[in-house]
Amino acid sequence: MRLEPKLDRQAPTIGPVPAAAKRKQPLVAPAPAVDLPQGFDIRNASPRRLAEASMDFYVAGLLDWEEYAMLAFQPELHPDYDRTIGALTGRRAAPDKGRDCLAEWEERLAFEQKYRGEKDETAMRTLHIVTLFQRLDAPSRMVA
């Protein structure tokens, strides 16, 4: 028996947003008091590693649902990246190549604040992610 694909199917949905994600949480990052992924380095994380770690941050309560979605979406993980965004930017996807995620998100924050304003919700969420990343980076800058 051969199965034919249904052409009238709707796109799959992720499901309802968890109740915890709907409640308004303060946009201040608590100090990380959780076990982070082994060997996670915010100054040298690949897009794939960052997408995986974003779920850990969400489960630990360090990010709310919308911030998790912002962080988990990594365009370089899409199979058509080279034909779309990569073709426009001239940069090939490198989903496993480490990069300074803190610096990239600080640049994104500067852009958001400049063009959206500091009180914009997206800018505030970006600020929360940057604050979390700065706290994750703080132990690496400590001198013994």
- Torsion angle in degrees (nearest 10) through CA of 92, 94, 100, 106: 50
pLDDT in tens, 78-115: 889 889 888 999 999 888 999 999 999 999 999 999 99
Instruction: Read off the pLDDT band of 141 (50, 70, 90).
Output: low
Maximum Cα interatomic distance, the chain, rounded to a whole number of Å: 68
The Cα-based distances of 21 to 26, 96, 108 in angstroms read: 12, 29, 23
Tell me the mean pLDDT in the region 126-130. Answer: 96
Mean pLDDT of 32-48: 74
